[in-house]
Structure 1
Amino acid sequence: MTVTVDIWTDINCPFCYLGKGRFEAALRGFDRRDDVVVVHHSFELDPTVPADVSGAVEQHIADKYGISAEQVLANERGIAAQAGELGLPYKVGGRDYGSSFDMHRLLHFALSQGKQETLLDALYAGNFAEDAPLFGDRERLVGVAVTAGFDEQAVRGVLDDPEAYAEDVRRDEQQAAALGVSGVPFFVFGGKYGVSGAQPVETFTRALEMASSEQIVTVGADSADTCGPDGCAVPQAD
């Protein structure tokens, strides 16, 4: 039986990056992984941010939560350690944040090309693993897409048309709202099981195995890390 896994994420969200890595670890160990179809959906953490505005993540987090720069870096190091356990690179310090709407439009373009996963991985790498800022810089975004194997003219064509794939992004976000999704990452397995946050690998494995259930239920602890409209959960440094 084919099982579809729908995943709502945002490129700004470090826990989406971790959640994708943990889900994929579970999927690699799932004996029916060839029967699993993964579909990624759009979710903007802050849809009010203008497209040409970006800022330093460290200052943004410090201002939002009223914590010191040292606490921010300690928290970032904690996330980096979690990423390292999955073999994922994570740049501590120097990242930016901003509007992800154009990135989500490009992800729908990539879906139409059958290469959505490729672009999503490239965008995550561009944000969390590479030195150059990703947000608020159209040329940087074009470069990431082209390096991932997409045609430059086609990518620029999407970005030049503000309505290209915009309705697809809005539809994803409306669907998330209808499901009551308030934070990401959020996974729905087989249209029936909901998993919120960057849960442990074992939770994703269980959800894959239980995807034939008849109701959407939340699997895993409610306290798992997510990012929502008010920002990302701030892990407490030891």
Structure 2
Amino acid sequence: MRVEIWADIACPWCYVGKARFAKGLADFAHREEVEVVFRSFELDPNRPRGEVSPVLELLARKYGRTLDEARGMEEHVAASARAEGLPYRTEGRDHGNTFDIHRLLHLAAARGRQEELLDLAYRANFAEERSVFDPEVLLALAVEAGLDGAEARAVLADASAYAAEVRADEREAAELGASAVPFFVLDRRYGISGGQPAEVFTRALEQAWAGRETAAAASAVADGSAPASPEGAGGEACEPDGACAVPQR
């Protein structure tokens, strides 16, 4: 069974959702027969490359909040991250265009190191004092993930390298009805939006596994229909246009 995950490095709920999915997968009886594939989704594709701004200022501007209120929004997602055992810093983070990161992740996928680079990029962005929008930091992460430094540098220097693969992922997300991330698609049968609790992922995996031979599911894939939701509800997610909407609780 294949699980595809559309996500963006700039999305905190993708960071949290990846950890929750991993826990849900660990409790799935057939976990060794699940292939996980990470797909590209840009939250802020129109932001000029190289233009970087502080996350707190972006949140305050986008949602009409004060910096203190924006800090409270960040504290909310930080608490969720820490509950999953993930480090998260609420001050000093940057936000920018993630297209180059996605291109490098496609190189990593071609070399069998995609998840390693993804985890390092998430950690650098949300937990460490390293900006993933700095090309030299991104190159260092690629090498740390096991990629060849010269090859990674060449990809970053060539804006066309793996660009088609990123755009193909984004078109497919739109065709499947993904309007926010993280977005999980299980065997092209079921779609789950948002960073759901681990048990939701386990139940969805079980349902998808049980229905693998269902003719209706096969025809849904064939006619291009969007995957159904096994739970009927979305979790906390990030929508396009920049920063993530973090609900006040």
Q: TM-score, normalised by structure 2?
A: 0.90
Distance between the aligned counterparts of 1:7 and 1:110, measured in 2? 16
User: Match of 1:84?
Assistant: 82
User: Match of 2:189?
Assistant: 192
Distance between the aligned counterparts of 1:59 and 1:235, measured in 2? 17
User: Match of 2:236?
Assistant: 225
8 Å CA contact 1:107–1:116 kept in 2: the answer is: yes
The runs of at least 4 aligned residues of structure 1 exceeding 6 Å deviation read none
Write the mapping of 1:25-36 to structure 2, written as runs, cut at 5 A: 25-36=23-34
**Distance apart, 1:235 and its partner CA:** 2.0
**Distance apart, 1:134 and its partner CA:** 2.1
User: Match of 1:160?
Assistant: 157
Q: How many residues align?
A: 234
User: Match of 2:12?
Assistant: 14
Between the aligned residues of both structures, percent identity stands at: 49
Establish whether residue 172 from structure 1 lines up as the match of residue 169 from structure 2.
yes
**Distance apart, 1:89 and its partner CA:** 0.7
Q: Which runs of 5+ in 2 are unaligned?
A: 212-216, 221-226
Distance between the aligned counterparts of 1:80 and 1:157, measured in 2? 35
8 Å CA contact 2:106–2:162 kept in 1: the answer is: yes
Q: Which runs of 5+ in 1 are unaligned?
A: none
8 Å CA contact 1:4–1:36 kept in 2: the answer is: yes
**Distance apart, 1:147 and its partner CA:** 2.0
Write the mapping of 1:1-238 to structure 2, written as runs, cut at 5 A: 3-135=1-133, 137-212=134-209, 213=211, 214=217, 216-220=227-231, 222-230=233-241, 231-237=243-249
Amino acid at match of 1:236: Q
**Distance apart, 1:105 and its partner CA:** 0.4
Query: Could you list the per-position Cα deviations for residues 12-52 of structure 1 after superposition, in whole angstroms to 9, with x for gaps in the alignment?
Result: 00000011000001111112110000000000001111111
8 Å CA contact 1:5–1:189 kept in 2: the answer is: yes
Q: TM-score, normalised by structure 1?
A: 0.94
Amino acid at match of 2:139: V
8 Å CA contact 1:203–1:219 kept in 2: the answer is: no
More strand by proportion, 1 or 2? 1
**Distance apart, 1:115 and its partner CA:** 1.0
8 Å CA contact 2:196–2:234 kept in 1: the answer is: no
8 Å CA contact 1:199–1:220 kept in 2: the answer is: no
